[in-house]
Amino acid sequence: MSLFNVCSWWSAQCSDPGEEYDVASLLCARFGLEAQEKDYIIVGSQTGQLSIYYPHHRGYDATDLLLETQMAAPIVGLYAGKFSGTVRNENANQLGVLLPNAIVIYNVLAIGGLAEHGAQLRLQMQAEHKFQRVAFGLCQGHFGQVKGREFFCVVHLDGTLTFYEQDGISYECRFPGFRALPAPVVYCERTDSFFRFSATWDLQCYSYQDLSHSLVTKSSYQPTWTQCVGEGIVDMRVVQVKANCSYIMILGERNFISLDDNGKFNFMLKLDYAPKCFISFVVGYYWEPGARLITAIISDSSKLHLYEEANLIWAAQWPNQSPAPVAIQRSNVHNLAGGIVTLGAKGQLEVGYLGADPFQFQVQPLKLEELSFAQAHKELQQLEDEIKEAVDVRVMDALNQQAADQVRLTFTIQSEVNDDLDTLLLDVPADVAVKELPSAKGLLRCRIKAELAELQLVFQTPSGVRCSQDTLSFVDVAAGTSHEFKLDFYIAELLHIHSAKVEVIASFVSPRGIPRVIQQSANLPLSMFYRACQPQKAAGIKLTYSIISRHVTPKLATFFGEFLEEHSESHALGLQLLCPGLEKQSEGITLVAAKNSNRIRIQSDYVETFAMILERIVERTLQLDSSAGLIKMDKKKPKKGVLNRCVERLIAAPFLPVQPILHRIDVHHDTQQSIRKQTDQLEELWQQFKTLQRNLQEQSEGDPKEALTMEIESNYDQLILEGDKLVEIRRDERRQRCDLNCAVALARWIIHALNLEERVVNVVNSVLSVPIEDWTELSWEESMAPGIDMLHHFGPLTRSKSTSTHGLLDSNANPKESFDYSRFRRHFATLFDRIIRLASSPMAIKPDDSKKPTGEEEKPAAEQQVDEIGNMQRMLGEKGLPLGPPKRRSNMSSSLEAVEDDEEYDEEDLREDVGYRKEYGTTDGTHTSSNRKNRSEWVNEDFELPTTEELFSDLGIWW
C-alpha cells in the first residue's frame, strides 16, 4: 500500500453504469467557445452514450453536465482537431466521434443559460464519412507536414488504413505482409512517419509518402526501420521532447519502453505490476532545455506511478477506484491546473491531484533492542498454549464429522493389475510405454448430502505415478447429487517410488462461504511395482520385524497377497523392482518368514527396494490389529514416558542402514551444487549476450558488424549448450530426489517400530518428512538443517543435560552463518547412531513411580526394571526378542536359514554396522583410569546409560 493517496477534487458517475468503457472512451479537449476556456471532459460509452462535462469548482454540480446524447451506434473512439477546412478560429477544434462503420465530425456550439440554469452545448454535424470495413481506431495529425490543416486515417479490423483529407479526398492502403492484425497506429509529425505494432510483436516505421503512393503506383514498400519489442502492448503514444527528436512511449504487458523516432532504444523498464493504462506528457515547452518527460501509469491495483523518463518519482493510491481505471488523461480545469482525469470500466469519472496528505497512520518507532531467543521462545510457548486453550477439540471433531456427512467419499483401488493401458490416450512417455508396465484401476464414489457452492477433488500420487484425472472441479452442486469416477493409475516416469499410497482430497465451500476439507486414501497393489523372482540368500542390508499382535498371522501371504495365495505356507519370497527397470542391474528384495518364531526378515542390496515393502508390513499389521477391536493409534494422545504403542503390534530390530542413506544425501547435495554452478554460468553467459546485443544496436550503419555478429552467434550457441546441460542435470536431480525419498522413508518406517518413547518417534518422523522438496534458493539439506540442529541441542543428541537451554538458543543464533554441509551430515549420522543405541536398551524408559500406591512394599530390583506398559517377555512372547541384546558371532554372513535362529543384532554388530565406538555400562575398575579421558561426555557419573527422561528432558519444545 502506498503512503499517499490521490486526492479527489471532482467526481461523477456516467449515465451508463455497465462495463462499457475502455481506453478510447475518455477525451480532454478545448473547443474555443470562450476566452478563458478550460478543458472539457468528453466520455463516450460502447452503448452510444455521449456526455460532455465542464467542472467549474470542487465537487460535482448538476450544471457541470453540458451535454448528454445517444448515438445510433457504439462509440469506438473520441478525437478533437481541425478536421474541416471551414474552421476559421485558430483555437477552435471539432469533435470527431468514431463509430463502427462511420466517423462523424461535429462542431460544438455553446448555448447560454437563463436565470439559474447553466450553459449547454449542442452538436452540429459537419461531415460524416462512412466506410465498408469495421473501424478499430483513428490516427490524426498534419500528414505530409502541412500547416493549418489536420488529416486523419481510420484503422480497420483487417489492418487496412483509410486516409481522409479536408477537401474530400480519401484513399486506402495496406501494410505489407500477410498478417495485418488491428493494432494501435500513431503518427510522428517531426519525421512524417507512422508507427505500427505488427502481429510479430515488432514496432515498424512507415513514411507517409510510401503509404500515400502505394495505391497509385501499385508498388511494394518496406518499413523504414523495424524494432523488436518482444511482447504485446497495452497502448502507444508519441511525445516530442526535443526540437530534433520525438519519443515513442510504449506500455507493454510487462515492460515500459521508450524509443526515439529513429528506432533507437532509450530505456526499457520492467514493471513489477500489471499496467492498465498510461499517459505521457512534457512539462514545459519541448524547445526549452528544462523540459521534463513525465509518464503516469495506473496498475491493476489502482495505484498511480509517476516516472520521469525511467525513474520512479512518485506513487499514490486511488482510494475510491475499484476496479482500476481503464483510461487516464491530464487536464486543466477551473481552479486546478494539471489535474489527473480517470475513467473506470463502469463509468466512474474522477478528477484528482497529487497531494502530500499521508494516511492517518504513524509508523511505530523502531525498538533497537537486542533480540533474545529465549524470550521469543517463551512468548511462542505462551501463544501456543493460548491457542490450544481456545480451540475446543470436541467442536473440531464435530465439524469434521459434519463435513464427512456432507460429502461422502468411497475410494477403492483394485488389487489386480492390468496390462491393457491405452498409452496413447493417456500420453504415456515413449520410454515408459516400451516397458509395458502394469497399471491399476480405481473407483471413486462421491455422494453430496448438502448444497455446495464449489467442490474440488484432487488426487495426490507419489512421484512417478500418475492418475488419469488429476483434478475434478464442480460449481453449484445440488444436494443429493452422486458421482462415480473410474480412474486409471499408471507409471509415467521411470523413477524409484517411495510409497504406494494414493490420497484423494475433497475441498468444498458451502453457500455461506465456509470451507471444509476431507481426505481418503488407498494403496496401489505392489504387483504394479514388483514381480516375483527367485529369493536371494545374500544381501548387504538386512532388517528384521517381529509381529507381536496375536490378531496378525506372521505369514508372507498375510502381507503380500498379490504374489502368494491366501493359504500359502511359503516362507521365502523374492521380488524384483519393475521401475525404473535398469538393464545393468536387477534390483531385488527377499522376504523370509521364520519357521519357529513370529519374525520376518527383509534383505536387499538396494535401499530403494525397502520403502513400499516396509510400508505394507507396518500398515497391514496396524490395520488388522485395529479391525480386531483395539484402540486406534492416532486417537490416543502420546504422554510423556509412554513407550511407542506400535511395539504392542510389531517391533523392529534396532538397525538403520546409515551409510547407504548418507550416500544418497551426498549425491543429492552434489547435484544441487552442480545446478547452482550451472545456473550461475548461464546467468553470466546471458549477461554477455545482452551486452553484445546492446553493442550491436549502438553501432552506426557504417561500422563493420561481421565480427560482432559472429561473437553473438557463438555466445548464443554456448547458451543453448549450457541450457541443455542444466536440463539434463535437473533430470538427474529428480531421479536422485526420488532415491532419497526411498531412503528417508526406509528410516521412517524403521523408527516407527522401534522400542522408544512415542513422543520421540513422532518428533523424529516429523523431521524426516517425505516427500522431500527442493526450492530455487533453498535445498532440502538446508531446510532440514535447523530441525536436525535443534534435535542435536535439545533432543536425543544433547551431549550434556546441564547445558543451559537459553544459552544454547542465544549462542547458536547467528543469521549470517552459512550452511555447513559437513556439520549437517555429521549431525544426521549422530542422530541415527543415538536412536539405535536407545532402541537397543530396554532400560531406556523407566516406569512411572508416581503411579505406585502409597504403602506398597518395595519390590525386588529385578521387578522394578519392568517397563510400565507390561512385562516385555509377555509382550514379545516366549520366543520373541530378548530384553537384553545377547551376544552374537562376529561373522555377518547372510543366508535364508539365518532368520530361523533366535539371534539378534548385539552390541558388537551395532559397532560394526553403525560405527558405534562409545563405551557405556559398568566398566572394570582396572580400566577406569585409562578410559576416563576417552569417555563420552554424556556418560553420567554412575557409568550407566542415561535414561530416556534425562536425554529427552528438553524435547518438550516440539509439542
Burial class (CB in 10 A: 0-12, 13-18, 19+), 384: exposed
| Confidence (pLDDT) at 343 | 92
| Confidence (pLDDT) at 218 | 54
> Which stretch of DSSP H or E encloses residue 604?
strand 599-604
What single letter denotes the amino acid at residue 571? H
C-alpha cell at 689: 549476450
Grid coordinates 542415561 are at which residue? Answer: 946
* Confidence band of 167 (pLDDT split at 50, 70, 90): low
Domain termination residue (choose one: 509, 526, 543): 526
**What mean pLDDT do residues 479-483 have?**
91
* Confidence band of 918 (pLDDT split at 50, 70, 90): very low
For residue 499, being part of any structural domain is answered with yes
Burial class (CB in 10 A: 0-12, 13-18, 19+), 344: buried
Model pTM greater than 0.75? Answer: no
Left (φ > 0), alpha (ψ -120 to 50) or beta: where does 387 sit? alpha
The answer on 134 and 39 residing in a single domain is yes
Is the per-residue pLDDT at 73 higher than 60? yes
| Confidence (pLDDT) at 489 | 94
pLDDT, tens digit, for every residue of 295-307? 999 998 889 999 9
Report d(CA 534, CA 189) in Å as an integer.
Answer: 87
CATH code of the domain containing 284: 2.130.10.10
Beta bridge partners of 330: 340
> Which stretch of DSSP H or E encloses residue 26?
strand 26-29
Give the 3-state secondary structure of residue 685.
helix
| Least-confidence region, from 750-759, 773-782, 815-824 | 815-824
Beta bridge partners of 410: 445
Is the per-residue pLDDT at 804 higher than 70? no
| Least-confidence region, from 292-296, 558-562, 882-886 | 882-886
Is the per-residue pLDDT at 590 higher than 90? yes
For residue 732, being part of any structural domain is answered with no
Is the per-residue pLDDT at 48 higher than 60? yes
For residue 659, being part of any structural domain is answered with no
Handedness of CA 820, 821, 824, 826 (dihedral sign): negative
Contact (Cβ atoms closer than 8 angstroms) between residue 652 and residue 602: no
The answer on 405 and 454 residing in a single domain is yes
Is the per-residue pLDDT at 720 higher than 70? yes
* Confidence band of 817 (pLDDT split at 50, 70, 90): low
Bigger pLDDT: 809 vs 571 = 571
For residue 312, being part of any structural domain is answered with yes
The answer on 345 and 482 residing in a single domain is no
Print burial letters for 511-543: b (CB count within 10 Å at least 16), e (below 16): eeeeebebebebbbbbbbbbbeeebbeebebbb
Print burial letters for 548-585: b (CB count within 10 Å at least 16), e (below 16): bbeebebbbbbbbbbbbeeeeebbbbbbbbbbbbeeee
**What mean pLDDT do residues 784-801 have?**
70
* Confidence band of 567 (pLDDT split at 50, 70, 90): confident
The answer on 331 and 272 residing in a single domain is yes
The answer on 325 and 218 residing in a single domain is yes
Is the per-residue pLDDT at 317 higher than 60? yes
Is the per-residue pLDDT at 491 higher than 50? yes
Is the per-residue pLDDT at 400 higher than 80? no
| Confidence (pLDDT) at 864 | 35
Contact (Cβ atoms closer than 8 angstroms) between residue 95 and residue 78: yes
Percent of the chain clearing pLDDT 70 (strictly above): 79
**What mean pLDDT do residues 505-525 have?**
90
| DSSP notation for 906-951 | -HHHHHHHH------S---GGGHHHHHTTS-TT--TTS-PPPHHHH
Q: Which of 18-22, 260-264, 395-399, 791-795 has the highest mean pLDDT?
A: 260-264
For residue 81, being part of any structural domain is answered with yes
The answer on 154 and 73 residing in a single domain is yes
* Confidence band of 247 (pLDDT split at 50, 70, 90): very high
pLDDT, tens digit, for every residue of 545-556? 999 888 888 889
> Which stretch of DSSP H or E encloses residue 349?
strand 348-358
What Rg do the C-alpha atoms of the chain give, in angstroms?
40
C-alpha cell at 170: 480519401
* Confidence band of 442 (pLDDT split at 50, 70, 90): very high
| Confidence (pLDDT) at 637 | 52
The answer on 397 and 347 residing in a single domain is no
The answer on 310 and 251 residing in a single domain is yes
pLDDT, tens digit, for every residue of 223-244? 899 999 888 899 999 999 888 8
Rounded to a whole number of angstroms, the distance between the first and last alpha carbons of the chain is 37
**Which of 910, 752, 880 shows the shortest CA–CA distance to 870?**
880
Cα 411 to Cα 408, 419, 525, 782, distances in angstroms: 10, 22, 14, 37
Contact (Cβ atoms closer than 8 angstroms) between residue 459 and residue 504: yes
Beta bridge partners of 786: none
**What mean pLDDT do residues 75-81 have?**
92
Domain termination residue (choose one: 335, 355, 375): 355
Is the per-residue pLDDT at 656 higher than 70? yes
Is the per-residue pLDDT at 391 higher than 90? no
**What mean pLDDT do residues 138-160 have?**
85
Bigger pLDDT: 706 vs 148 = 706
Is the per-residue pLDDT at 146 higher than 90? no
Contact (Cβ atoms closer than 8 angstroms) between residue 645 and residue 633: yes
Domain termination residue (choose one: 526, 553, 578): 526
Report d(CA 535, CA 255) in Å as an integer.
Answer: 64
- Domain boundaries, position 137: 5-355
The answer on 437 and 349 residing in a single domain is no
Cα 785 to Cα 104, 743, 768, 799, 832, distances in angstroms: 73, 17, 11, 18, 15
DSSP annotation of 527 reads: G
CA atoms within a 13 Å half-sphere pointing along the CA-CB vector of 749: 26
Bigger pLDDT: 23 vs 220 = 23
- SS3 per residue for 631-678: CCHHHCCCCCCCECHHHHCEEECCCCCHHHHHHHHHHHHHHHHHHHHH
Is the per-residue pLDDT at 183 higher than 90? no
- SS3 per residue for 425-467: CCCCCHHHHCCCCCEEEEEEEEEECCCEEEEEEEEECCCCEEE
Contacts of 405 (CB under 8 A, 6+ apart): 449
Distance of CA 178 to the CA centre of its chain: 40
Is the per-residue pLDDT at 911 higher than 60? no
pLDDT, tens digit, for every residue of 840-858? 876 544 434 333 333 333 3
Mean pLDDT estimate for the chain: 79
Grid coordinates 481522409 are at which residue? Answer: 164
Left (φ > 0), alpha (ψ -120 to 50) or beta: where does 13 sit? beta
Report d(CA 771, CA 745) in Å as an integer.
Answer: 8
The answer on 437 and 338 residing in a single domain is no
Report d(CA 57, CA 339) in Å as an integer.
Answer: 13
For residue 895, being part of any structural domain is answered with no
pLDDT, tens digit, for every residue of 207-219? 888 887 766 555 5
The answer on 238 and 169 residing in a single domain is yes
Grid coordinates 484401476 are at which residue? Answer: 441
**Which of 885, 880, 883 shows the shortest CA–CA distance to 863?**
883
| DSSP notation for 270-329 | E-SS-EEEEEEEEES-TTSTT-EEEEEEEETTSEEEEEETTEEEEEEE-TT-SS--SEEE
The answer on 270 and 123 residing in a single domain is yes
Is the per-residue pLDDT at 180 higher than 50? yes
- What is the domain count for the chain? 3
| DSSP notation for 41-104 | EEEE-TTSEEEEE---SSS--GGGEEEEEE-SS---EEEEE--STT---TT--EEEEEETTEEE
